[in-house]
Structure 1
Amino acid sequence: MKNKYRIGILIFMAFMTLYGCGNVLKGENIDTNKNVNLAPDDDLSMDEKQSVAEGNNHVNHTNSGIVPKGVKKAQNPTYPVGSQVIIQADHMVGMKGAKGIIVGAYNTNAYAVTYEPTTGGEEVKNHKWVIQEEIKKPQDKILQPGAKVTLEADHLPGMKGAIATVESGIHTTVYMVNYKPTNGTSDVKNHKWLIESEIEADQS
């Protein structure tokens, strides 16, 4: 009888030891997971994830801050270099409503263009903006919708050398802007280009 009692105690103790070890292991897993950096869009819908992916296009921008030869600095721009602005354009996810600072202002013709990247892939429609000096053999007069041009701009992979169709054009002041995207992605430096109607003064 005593042997059965002792065996019962030993079994009970073994069970409790295993149970305790299990809890320790679980606790270790929880602590380890605290250090794991989960993707920020894990809880987003598929559509939202696609938007985030599209918004990351700026990662591939050259963003060198170099302007094409012949571009003329604006003499009295509405937003001089150093101005704090709010971006109203939505060229990319995280742009609309973002706070930025003007780092360049130039007078030129700006175009929205549609083109097929030289690297392959889908046609890029109504890209804003390419300026006159970023077109091969630029003309002095503004180009009309439907005009075919060869792009010298390299804002995105596959843009330089691409044949493009002008969708619209405007003579305006174009701005180079640094800004912090509203979707939490890394700061964008030397974004080319925004036109005057796409920004407003930051009054905050």
Structure 2
Amino acid sequence: MTRNITTLLAAGILGGTALLTGCAAGGDDDAAPSASASASQGGEEGHGGHGGMAHGGDGEHGGGMRHSMDGGPVPEGMTPAADPEYPVGSEVTLAADHMEGMDGAPATIVGAYDTYAYSVDYAPTTGGDRVEDHRWVVQEELTGAGPDRLADGAEVTLEAGHMEGMEGAAATIASSTDETVYVVDYKADGMTMTNHRWVVESEIRPAS
């Protein structure tokens, strides 16, 4: 009788241990989704909803921050370029790598402006890693920037809404250019991006 009770107790302890181990493993699976699930979620969290294109370059946006399919209107007060190298309506080829599939993509010029364009480092208002070398933000998209070109290292506040977490973010000027800046429509990876802001003149080639 004593032997039977001991055997039953041992079996119960072992069964309970196995049950606890199974629960712990199940908890870990719930907390850590598979790589494919994470990638799918990242695609849906893009700026402007699904269908955006991930920012390319050195991956500074973490894959989850995306441009919307349409960039919308340019800021008020922009000065159209008087004699741009690529007039509105020109068919061109892009030589920029801001976005996946952008380098070498066919594009159409839809706007050309005289302003200063800046590469900026900023901390997204939505949290996450600091974004490095975001290109481009123009003078009219910086709070209280005034008319003069800002120096590298200047601290600014962004008014641009190109990416999720960008508008209202504190930023630092990394570099700048006084090249003509362009708004373009372009096709890449089977999608059409309209009113994409911004591409500077050195990032554009004549259509081949």
TM-score, length-normalised on structure 1? 0.69
**Conserved? CA contact 1:117–1:123, under 8 Å:** yes
Q: Does 1:99 align with 2:110?
A: no
**Conserved? CA contact 2:69–2:192, under 8 Å:** no
Q: 1:159 is matched with which residue?
A: 166
Structure index of larger Rg: 1
**Conserved? CA contact 1:62–1:155, under 8 Å:** no
- Quote the offset at 1:123 in angstroms: 1.0
1:5-62 alpha-carbon deviations (Å, 9 max, x no partner):
xxxxxxxxxxxxxxxxxxxxxxxxxxxxxxxxxxxxxxxxxxxxxxx96557785437
Q: Does 1:85 align with 2:96?
A: no
SS at match of 2:202: helix
Output the amino acid matched with 1:157. E
Q: 2:121 is matched with which residue?
A: 114
Output the amino acid matched with 2:200. I
Distance 1:83 1:179 in 2: 12
Aligned residues between the structures: 151
**Conserved? CA contact 2:75–2:141, under 8 Å:** yes
- Consecutive unaligned residues of structure 1, counting only runs of 5 or more, are 1-51
Superposed, 1:33-182 pairs within 5 Å as: 60-61=67-68, 63-181=70-188
Cα separation, partners in 2 of 1:102 and 1:157, compared to 1, 3 Å: same
Output the amino acid matched with 1:125. E
1:125-182 alpha-carbon deviations (Å, 9 max, x no partner):
000000000000012211111000000000011000000000001112100001011x
**Conserved? CA contact 1:61–1:157, under 8 Å:** no
Considering only aligned residues, what root-mean-square deviation do their CA atoms show, in Å? Answer: 2.1
- Greater shift, 86-95 or 55-64, is seen at 55-64
**Conserved? CA contact 2:69–2:194, under 8 Å:** no
**Conserved? CA contact 2:55–2:66, under 8 Å:** no
1:197 to 189, 202, 205: 202
1:187 to 182, 185, 192: 192
Distance 1:189 1:82 in 2: 13
Q: 1:14 is matched with which residue?
A: none
**Conserved? CA contact 2:153–2:173, under 8 Å:** yes
Distance 1:96 1:169 in 2: 21
Output the amino acid matched with 2:203. E
**Conserved? CA contact 2:142–2:158, under 8 Å:** yes
Cα separation, partners in 2 of 1:58 and 1:101, compared to 1, 3 Å: farther
- Quote the offset at 1:186 in angstroms: 1.4
SS at match of 1:141: coil
SS at match of 1:187: strand
